[in-house]
Amino acid sequence: MKHLRLVVVSAVGGVLITLLTGLANHTPDMLVGAVWYGYPLAWLVQIVYPGTPYTIRPLRFIADIVFWAVIVLVPLFAYNKFTKKKS
């Protein structure tokens, strides 16, 4: 049951961090005409033209969630193992 809790917490953390990285401009210097958001993969794109909507790239969005969930899971798992052995 503890492992399921760790996975759920890391998944929620992955979603939150992914959404927060959607606020960060990640456009390459050489690219003109589009603005990319998201890190490490640009999952939100806006073409620079008045009235153009944002485009979400679902596979990159999911890959970012998985990436950040793993980043959150590793320290949580290590902390869980450390506190388990200590007590």
CA–CA dist 65, 57 (Å, integer) = 12
- The whole-number pLDDT of residue 26 equals 84
Record the pTM.
0.85
The rounded distance, in Å, linking the Cα atoms of 28 and 32 is 9
How far is 51 from 47, CA to CA, in rounded Å? 9
In this prediction, residue 66 carries a pLDDT of: 97
DSSP 87: -
Render pLDDT for 8-63 as a digit per residue (tens, 0 to 9).
999 999 999 999 999 999 888 888 888 999 999 999 999 988 888 999 999 999 99
CA 80, CA 57: separation in Å to the nearest integer?
Answer: 34
